[in-house]
Amino acid sequence: MSELNHLFDRNLAWADAIKNKDPEFFRRLAKQQLPEYLWIGCSDSRVPANQIIDLPPGEVFVHRNIANMVVHTDLNCLSVLQFAIEILEVKQIIVCGHYGCGGVKAALDQHDHGLIDNWLRHIKDVGRLHADKLQTLSHNEKLNRLCELNVIEQVNNVCNTTIVQQAWKKGLAISVHGWIYNIENGILNRLGDSINSADQC
């Protein structure tokens, strides 16, 4: 039973370092989570939610999938969204994409990727919706622009879920933000204004 021992060693060192700074940290966190943010991001290993915004455990409720998609019928994502809003009372929802996204790249090429092509289909749809903005761009510009447009579309999808629509109807102050992360320099940027009400989407 010695598989991946180095990861358990790292875990012990990590937990010790936190307890040395703040002995009550884990006991406090064990009682409840009160995250202020829901992060919907890409599964890419270079885009870890908490580290990018430099927040400790307990501060960010996270959902990640390939290419940070919010698909209207994805019960996994919708359940996360409902739990975040109705139980955790999160008010800030962030959809974060990143430049050079492998999912977006795969959606742009003409190769056969097997099962995942069914997921990538949603990104291809975003490309089709914005074909006029993409057609004159070089391949690299097209990739990065589609990464941005995909975030904007997923923000729109979050806003149009029954969950967020109902929350706004009840008067909850939910804000939905579209961000993009640059894996080449570690910097986040906003994509457009945040959406705070049903009439903005």
Task: Tell me which stretch binds Co ion (CB under 5 A): 25-33, 97-105, 123-131, 167-175.
Answer: 97-105
Residue from 39, 44, 158, 181 in contact with Co ion (CB under 5 A)? 44
Choose the catalytic residue: 9, 16, 28, 46: 46
| Residue among 96, 101, 147, 159 flagged as catalytic | 101
Query: Which of the ranges 25-33, 38-46, 120-128, 191-199 carries the binding residues for Co ion, by CB under 5 A?
Result: 38-46
Tell which positions 49-78 bind Co ion, by CB under 5 A. Answer: none
46 labelled catalytic:
yes
Tell me the C-alpha distance between 149 and 155, whole Å: 10
Give how many residues touch Co ion by CB under 5 A: 3
Tell whether residue 42 is a contact of Co ion (CB under 5 A): yes
4: left (phi over 0), alpha (psi -120 to 50) or beta: left
Minimum gap (Å) between residue 83 Cβ and Co ion: 24
Maximum distance among all Cα pairs of the chain, rounded to whole angstroms: 57
Name which of 42 and 90 has its Cβ closer to Co ion.
Answer: 42
**What is the contact mask toward Co ion in residues 134 to 173, using x (rule: CB under 5 A)?**
----------------------------------------
177 is catalytic: no
77 noted as active-site residue: no
| Residue (of 167, 170, 173, 131) closest to 149 by Cα position | 131
Residue 146, helix vs strand vs coil: helix
113 is catalytic: no
Give the Cα separation of 137 and 142 in Å (integer): 5
Location of structure tokens 């359940």: 79
Per-residue burial over 1-27, b = 16 or more CB atoms within 10 Å of its CB, e = otherwise: eeeeeeeeeeeeeeeeeeeeeeeebee
Measured distance CA(149)–CA(49) in Å, rounded: 20
106 binds Co ion (CB under 5 A): no
Query: Which sign, positive or negative, has the C-alpha torsion 189, 192, 193, 194?
Result: negative
Decide if 147 is catalytic: no
- Considering the complex, what minimum distance in angstroms separates the CB of residue 67 from Co ion? 5
The CB-of-118 to Co ion minimum distance in angstroms stands at: 17
Residues making contact with Co ion (CB under 5 A): 42, 44, 101
Q: Which residues are catalytic?
A: 42, 44, 46, 98, 101
